[in-house]
A = this chain, B = another copy of it.
Amino acid sequence: MNKADQIIQEIGERPTAVRTAVLGVLLNAGSALAHPEVLERLKNLGEFDRVTVYRVLEWLVIHGLAHKVAGTGRACRFQATHPDTTHRHAHFQCRECGKICCLTEIEPKLTNLPEHFTVESIELNIKGVCDDCGRHIPR
């Protein structure tokens, strides 16, 4: 059975064709994908409506199967939540290629947080130049 299918069934929700396909795409991607990229990769798997894909991406986030990352551009990117990524981890976005990836080794530490704020999530976005681009592009 499909990995994506399995994950959706495990949380007791309906593994429809679109959900399975979208989650599958996210699981296979090495980095966070923007909506157009997801749509592009779905073309190999069938015809899916862009609105439905938007809704499925939101659905995945609500059900904790993916998370939304705000990058440098205007578009949000989505990434499947792997069991080993906790709620508190960092994303790295490359200025050159725009790729976003999880840096699981980094644990953002909060010190001196004002007491009257209730914290629900922490996002640590690091921007710079990634390994690949740093090698190819002399600076």
Chain A contact residues, CB within 8 Å of chain B: 70-71, 74, 76, 92, 95, 103, 105-114, 116-131, 134
Contact = CB atoms under 8 A, between A and B. Distances in A.
Contact of A120 (B118, B124, B128): B128
A129 B118 contact: yes
Given A74-B74, A76-B74, A109-B109, A123 B114 contact: no
A12 to B, nearest CB: 26
Contact of A113 (B106, B121, B130, B134): B106
Contacts of A125: 70, 122-125
Contacts of A123: 123-127
Given A74-B74, A106-B110, A128 B118 contact: yes
B121 A111 contact: no
